[in-house]
Copies of this chain bind each other. A is one copy, B any other.
Amino acid sequence: MASVAPGREAPPVSPLAPTSPADLPPLAGVRLASMAAGLKKKQGALDLMLMEFAAGTTVAGVLTKSKCPSAPVDWCRKNLDKGKARAFIVNAGNANAFTGMAGDRTVEHTVSATAKALGAKASEIFVASTGVIGQPVSQDWIGKHVPDLVKKLTRDGWNAASEAIRTTDTFAKRATRTTRIGFETVTINGIAKGSGMIAPDMATMLAFVATDAKLPADVLQTLLKSGADKSFNSITVDSDTSTSDTLLLAATGQATHAKISSASDANLKSFRAALDDLLLDLALQVVRDGEGAQKQIQINVTGASSPKSAKIIARAIANSPLVKTAIAGEDANWGRVVMAVGKAGEPADRDKLSIAFGGTQITKNGQIVDGYNEKPVVEHIKGQEIVIDVDLALGKGAATVWTCDLTHGYIDINGSYRS
């Protein structure tokens, strides 16, 4: 949860936070409201957010692959294939996860209160909760605040919404893109939260994206899945995967562009690129707010036997505590990269492996390069954005994964989260 144990300072804002955060413009067909509902411990902190959509809005989603998902995730999964949304209602402070049947009843109450207030069907209301796992909440814990939220709905509520969904995040995460479909301008806005319990292989935290484009739900799902694989599914902070990870994308259909009926429509090219870019922007903000992060690490694996193999190897490097602590200590300990490649269990040949840090070749064909000069590597590793290239020289499989370093800050934050 967002609050910090008594007597402890909140962690300082990440040094990797954006210096000028995006200011999200209004989006046709979307209204938002946020409030301090007392769900976070900290007095007066925004912790409940309603994002309302115009009638006819389509929706897509990517949800956690956890085998123990939260009650809200179960609800979203059940209703996503109907493809329609009238609202996202999101709280921070309690994840309503591992709360048994009571958790399901809380979701049902939240949904019915929201549907009633907006004149919508229950299946059009999507719920997400983040915070502590396993603390039961009363049934009307969120629902009772819905009438107040509805009164506050405004087109200008994006920035406040990005604040309301924060937990241990040290900065609010948002991004916007203006693009076009055919000749018509469309906008995409997105907000996200997450700084720990972030691992790929699923939508990896909470993120809510909306656009005024008019797109069928199946097209939206194809675009979102493809974009998530290259962004939220390619980042990792600590290899831990939340019970609650949820990425939702709504399209209000208020823009008046040519009709789109296929994800491969040529008119979607710019939109698709803008959406991918926005998703990567949000995902990297999550990495850059990784608990205790001082450095962003980008791992590019090439020459693997397949793209899948490349991603497994990139993740093994990104999740290695020994690699991550070495970077934190500004030590270009490439031997630990070799170790991580080896432990991935994927095809690799020690004597073909090449490694570069910050573009400087360190090893080639399994040995340190002749006349290797450590100086540019030492310079690079003192920076905030570290790039590690690993070439396996076996095939054409390539993948990029982003992570952050592992520092004392991570231990500080996670050793006293709940108390």
Give A residues with C-beta under 8 Å from B: 64-69, 95, 97-102, 132-136, 196-197, 199, 238-243, 319-322, 325-326, 328-329, 331, 333-336, 338-348, 350-351, 353, 363, 365-368, 406-408, 410-411, 414-419
Q: Give complex CA distance A391, B322 in Å.
A: 31
- A133 contact from B95, B132, B338, B347, Cβ within 8 A: B338
Contact of A134 among B132, B320, B325, B368 (CB under 8 A): B368
CB pairs A–B below 8 angstroms (22 shown): A66-B343, A67-B343, A67-B346, A67-B350, A68-B338, A100-B365, A100-B367, A101-B351, A132-B335, A133-B336, A134-B335, A199-B343, A240-B339, A321-B410, A326-B415, A329-B416, A329-B419, A331-B415, A333-B418, A407-B411, A408-B408, A411-B411
Residue of A97, A196, A239 contacting most chain B CB atoms (<10 Å)? A239
Give the interface centre of A348, A407, A419 by most chain B CB atoms within 10 Å.
Answer: A419
Q: How far is the CA of A348 from the CA of B135 in the complex (A)?
A: 20
* Complex CA distance for A342 and B342, rounded to whole angstroms: 26
Distance of A381 Cα from B164 Cα, bound (Å)? 33
Whether A98 lies near B350 (C-beta < 8 A) is: yes
- A328 surroundings in chain B (CB, below 8 A): 411, 415
A343-B241, A414-B326 known; A368 vs B136 contact (CB < 8 Å): yes
Q: State the copy count for this chain.
A: 2
Residue of B nearest to A64 (CB): B342
A199 to B415, CA, bound (A): 22
Other-chain contact of A418, B65, B101, B326 (Cβ < 8 Å): B326
**Alpha-carbon gap, A320 to B239, bound state (A):** 7
Give A341 to B101 CA distance when docked, in angstroms: 19
A375 to chain B, nearest CB (A): 15
Inter-subunit contact B133/A414 (CB<8 Å):
no
A412 and chain B: residue at smallest CB distance: B408
A197 to B321, CA, bound (A): 9
Kindly list chain B residues whose C-beta atoms are within 8 Å of the C-beta of A320: 239-240
